[in-house]
């Protein structure tokens, strides 16, 4: 593998987690594991994965709830593992939150192929894991960091979700309404002022002159966009 992707494997079955985690690591992935819903969200917050492999019937937390919480934080792909092979269950999961659905028991080679396919689509959506916007600014969204003039700057979860939405459309304006739905989808009464406040805070972190931004700029028709240096 050319890149070391980070996977989050969530399943209540201790043996499956151990065995599958080892196989994935041997294939070159970095793998974090969790056996409950609460532990899954803790691992997710510690370092965002590139892909989540999620058993729906996990203990101490409904798998669908975990999936919804993941999607509220970022558009990270989810492959569902489930012993329920009913067509209705598959359609429901894929229509709501899943990128793919694998029925237990499964062959490792089948799951591995689906992982590669999903990660391939992810690369098409966001070509670079580290987004270099200029000689003085690199975004490392997976680690919630920006490298600004050689210095590492931490990003909050909200700032990270905001930049992830813009990074998927570099050079193109993302409307305020879309940003609200992507970044604050779980908030009641999210206000457009949330966007302005986040932009102002980010400009202070990543721009040399926040009042004359080079990278995080206002769109001509409204909204905001990330602009690489020429």
Identify the residue with better confidence: 46 or 33: 33
Instruction: Report domain 131-226's class.
Output: mainly alpha
pLDDT of the residue at 127: 44
pLDDT of the residue at 141: 82
Identify the weakest region by mean pLDDT among 14-18, 55-59, 207-211. Answer: 55-59
Identify the residue with better confidence: 59 or 169: 169
Mean of pLDDT values over 89-104 = 88
pLDDT of the residue at 185: 63
Domains 6-125 and 131-226 share a fold: no
Give the span between the Cα atoms of 96 and 58, in whole angstroms: 18
Helix, strand or coil, per DSSP, at residue 19:
helix
pLDDT of the residue at 1: 44
Beta strand 30-34 pairing with 51-55 = unpaired
Residue 190's pLDDT band (cuts 50, 70, 90): low
Mean pLDDT of the chain: 87
Q: Is the pLDDT reported for residue 52 higher than 90?
A: yes
**Where along the chain do its domains lie?**
6-125, 131-226
Q: Is the pLDDT reported for residue 2 higher than 80?
A: no
Express each pLDDT in 103-155 by its tens digit. Answer: 999 999 999 999 998 887 665 454 446 889 999 999 988 777 899 999 999 88
Helices (H), 80-214: 87-96, 108-125, 157-167, 176-183, 192-206
Identify the residue with better confidence: 53 or 5: 53
Asked if 47 and 142 count as a contact pair (C-beta separation under 8 A), the reply is: yes
Tokens 């966001």 sit at which residue? Answer: 126
pLDDT of the residue at 165: 86
Identify the residue with better confidence: 62 or 115: 115
Asked if 214 and 135 count as a contact pair (C-beta separation under 8 A), the reply is: no
Beta strand 78-82 pairing with 51-55 = parallel
Residue 214's pLDDT band (cuts 50, 70, 90): very high
Residue 87's pLDDT band (cuts 50, 70, 90): confident
Percent over 70 (pLDDT), the chain: 90
Instruction: Report domain 6-125's class.
Output: alpha beta
pLDDT of the residue at 126: 47
């Amino acid at each position: 593998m050319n890149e070391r992707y980070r996977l989050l494997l969530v399943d209540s079955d201790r043996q499956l987690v151990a065995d599958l985690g080892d196989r994935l690591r041997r294939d070159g992935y970095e793998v974090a594991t969790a056996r409950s819903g609460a532990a899954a969200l803790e691992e997710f917050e510690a370092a965002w994965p590139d892909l989540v492999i999620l058993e729906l019937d996990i203990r101490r937390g409904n798998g669908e709830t975990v999936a919804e919480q993941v999607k509220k934080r970022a558009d990270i792909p989810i492959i569902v593992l489930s012993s329920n092979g009913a067509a209705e269950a598959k359609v429901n999961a894929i229509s709501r939150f899943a990128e793919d659905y694998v029925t237990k028991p499964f062959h490792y080679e089948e799951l591995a192929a689906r992982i590669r396919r999903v990660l391939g689509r992810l690369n098409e959506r966001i070509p670079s894991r580290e987004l270099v916007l200029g000689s003085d600014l690199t975004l490392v969204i997976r680690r919630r960091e920006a490298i600004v003039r050689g210095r590492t700057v931490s990003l909050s979860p909200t700032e990270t979700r905001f930049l992830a939405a813009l990074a998927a459309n570099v050079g193109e304006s993302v409307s305020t309404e879309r940003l609200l739905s992507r970044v604050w989808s779980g908030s009641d009464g999210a206000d457009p002022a949330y966007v302005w406040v986040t932009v102002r805070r980010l400009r202070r972190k990543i721009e040399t002159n926040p009042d004359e931004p080079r990278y995080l700029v206002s769109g001509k028709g409204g909204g905001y966009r990330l602009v690489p240096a020429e």
